[in-house]
Structure 1
């Protein structure tokens, strides 16, 4: 046996060359009588050593790599900066107070004098809304809370609350007033008190004629005045 194999040293003993080991080991498992006791011991020891080396290689390949997370202090400034949350800008519309009443023009004053008018009062500054010039609506709204003067008599206030047939479900009768437009033209309209979002006085029925004659449009501004002729109520529209 020694004549056909080269010997190599493992530990303190000798075994066959690694090139012939697989064959010798296989033969020794089935025909051990071809080998001496010392050779069998050496083959067994070499087998254990190769098996141990094989398992070490496998374990080293399958060992998961441990990656350390970088500490916060090691991160660059760009990485550690927390993105700022942009605040939504809130646009607050400034509420412009209505301008003070202008002095009535000489034309208006002369016309009021011709009618023997008296008790002239400034009522309100009115910016026309779309609803004030919409044909289907046919009315001018005057919010009561924006009116600066007590221009109605007790009888007129009572009249504004009266309904047809004295029934609570009946239609409001309204108060008849004369409206003078910026061109000094006069119109007779009913004024009614409506309970809407806020209580309002509304000029109705013939209002579209005034809008058309004066080419009133949304955002046009009016100053509304009142005066009396023989105790009859007049409303004057002064366009700014």
Structure 2
């Protein structure tokens, strides 16, 4: 272990005596499961009901006295951190793109939760029209800002139908011409007769930090950033 890593670990172990625990926001679902090895590399044990999501508890202590965790919806992680309800968090780059909170600093790509934000449309219409000739298009998405910005950059007005789920149904029932959604394997698209026609952005999960917390508790927050960076490096070995 390097001297800087040793200093970071020392800061973390002594901080709780003087200050309250850092609150970290984690997302429900797949990313939460992929976070477990990272915490393992740091020697931190997570409560079982945090990981399996079987209970109703929303805030959890960890085996480290300087860290508590709140479990929230993936889109809410950025909001919790931006507004200071949690000092740090883990969320996908898609969430950061959609909300673009200036209060958030994202110092570290954790290399987990890999997927992509893509455009998809029905197999029967894919490739039969030139998008460069469009002046407007109706899109179903849970990412209205990403969708609008993507098409605005091409001079196309995107009318976004904001949906929280079942995106793949939208083109089939005439709700939209295409969808902008998160894609991991593409199996759900295929099962619903859609094809991926364009990748807007590749996505992985990031460690995010509230900028005010970083200014007011720089040693503690900085030590957590260093500790997560070391965990990522250990996971790549």
TM-score range, shorter chain: under 0.3
Name whichever structure is richer in helix by fraction. 2
TM-score (norm 2): 0.22
Q: Which structure: larger Rg?
A: 1
| Larger relative contact order, structure 1 or 2 (CA cutoff 8 Å, min sep 6) | 2
TM (norm. structure 1) is 0.21
